[in-house]
Amino acid sequence: MFSLGSWLPALPGLAWGWALLDALLQGLVGACAVLVLCSLLKVYLYIQSLNDPERQAEKEAIRAQRWVLELLHAVVLTALLALVGSRVAALVVLEFSLRAVSTVLSLGKGAHSSQLYLLCQYSLGCGVSCGLSFLLEGAPHRTCNLALAAGLAGLLATYTQRLARHVCTLYELHSQARYCGICIFLLAAGHGIPRLLRNALAVTFAVADLAAVALINRDFLSTAEAIRFWTPLTICYTLLVVYMQEESRQSAGGRAVYQTVLVRMGGLFILLLTVGRWTDVFHVLVSLLGELWCLLRAGVMLEACWRQ
């Protein structure tokens, strides 16, 4: 086994224990990526609402979010990402990438971009997990590499959370007094946060898509098996994208977002009942919980995006 466990004597169940630790570390890195995304979006939305007198209610709602719930959010999301298998995580990543490209081409840039960033939370976690699983496959001391990645991701998530807490507490005062370097920088360059997130997410999902295709194809022994899987998957994803584009034009708001999640996961559930394994079906249910959990946690920011 190519991990920290390779230094220890072979014991019954030891390989399973190291595999579980690797899954938890991958889930932790994915959860930290989601926390960084949410913290930066919180900073951007708070600054935007502060500059608009008609959006003071949104400002107070963002400020009123309990910071202690961030730890609970990270723990739950880590557990969910650790439970999801690489196969279903890869399918979630590919589905969101197709949906994001379709949305960007049909709606263009503007107020919908922030909402799209919030809708990609769980897919981002799956993408980071898939990327790590592919890049570290067969790597010596895999567990040590994942532990280092988790430590760095945790530091970055902690820093962005402190930034969001500082902005929600003191930005209004510091931006007027002009004596805080962080707030002065955000006052001058805060409008560039969506562009920064767009570029970072584009690179992340580009790597995740390549990793997802490779992870799915490694389970097939022949080209015929791959065709039997990819053909219904492509048809299903195409129909889902067309359906969701029509729904987004006809309705908006929280109800439409949750309905879209149910339709997406329902379509993937039915597809994997025919061409997948029983573990894939379980992982789809876990993914449904992850999507709903991320949307519930970001409810205040979603409302702020809808009102823009």
Q: What is the model's pLDDT at position 214?
A: 87
Q: What is the model's pLDDT at position 127?
A: 92
Contact 297, 73 (CB under 8 A): yes
Place of tokens 């562009």: 195
Q: What is the model's pLDDT at position 250?
A: 55
Question: Could you state, in order of their start, the residue ranges of all structural domains in the chain?
Answer: 21-220+300-307
Q: What is the model's pLDDT at position 113?
A: 63
Q: What is the model's pLDDT at position 31?
A: 93
Reading phi first (left if > 0) and then psi (alpha if -120 to 50, else beta), residue 296 is in alpha
Q: What is the model's pLDDT at position 252?
A: 56
H or E, element range at 295: helix 278-297
Cα gap 232→2, rounded to integer Å: 35
Q: What is the model's pLDDT at position 272?
A: 80
How many CB atoms lie under 10 A from the CB of residue 262?
12
Q: What is the model's pLDDT at position 227?
A: 78
Q: What angle do CA 288, 78, 144 make, to 5 degrees?
A: 140
DSSP 182: H
Q: What is the model's pLDDT at position 28?
A: 93
Q: What is the model's pLDDT at position 246?
A: 63
Q: What is the model's pLDDT at position 251?
A: 56
Radius of gyration in angstroms for the set of CA atoms belonging to the chain, rounded to a whole number = 20
pLDDT in single tens digits along all 308 residues of the chain: 444 444 444 444 455 667 788 889 999 999 999 999 999 998 888 888 877 767 767 777 777 777 667 888 889 999 999 998 888 888 899 888 888 887 777 765 444 567 788 888 999 999 999 889 888 887 777 888 899 999 999 999 999 999 988 888 887 777 777 778 788 888 888 888 888 998 999 999 999 999 988 888 877 767 777 777 777 777 777 777 777 666 665 555 566 777 778 888 887 888 787 776 778 888 889 999 999 998 888 877 887 777 66
Question: Which residue, 295, 70, 288, 96, is CA-closest to 202?
Answer: 96
Q: What is the model's pLDDT at position 3?
A: 46
Question: Which residue, 107, 50, 10, is CA-closest to 304?
Answer: 50
